[in-house]
């Protein structure tokens, strides 16, 4: 199946958990921990990457709930 399979990887991006399709723009928006990526739907090539870190208050709230990152 490799002729039909495309893979997207980004350094330091983990926990990909959200995907949104924009068929009109032929794009895929992928959310990972602290990152958003806009990708070409056709071949998963990167259009734009944005680092989106949480603020310190949110970070402390997560730690208090037992989350490590």
Asked whether residue 69 carries a pLDDT value surpassing 70, the answer given is no
**Structural domain count of the chain:** 1
Helix (DSSP H) and strand (DSSP E) numbers for the chain? 1, 4
Q: Round to whole Å and give the CA distance between 47 and 40.
A: 7
In a domain, 55, yes or no: yes
pTM of the model: 0.74
Q: Specify the range with the lowest mean pLDDT, choosing from 10-14, 32-36, 50-54, 59-63.
A: 59-63
In a domain, 49, yes or no: yes
Q: Domain limits at 33?
A: 2-64
pLDDT tens for 20-39 read 999 999 999 999 989 999 99
Asked whether residue 56 carries a pLDDT value surpassing 70, the answer given is yes
In a domain, 69, yes or no: no
Q: Taking residues 54-66, what's their average pLDDT?
A: 82
């Amino acid at each position: 199946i490799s002729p039909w399979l495309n893979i997207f990887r980004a350094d330091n991006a983990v926990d990909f958990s959200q995907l949104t399709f924009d068929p009109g723009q032929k794009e895929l928006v992928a959310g990972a921990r602290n990152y958003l990526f806009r990708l070409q739907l056709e071949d998963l090539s990167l259009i734009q990457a944005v680092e989106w870190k949480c603020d310190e208050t949110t970070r402390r709230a997560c730690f208090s709930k037992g989350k490590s990152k």
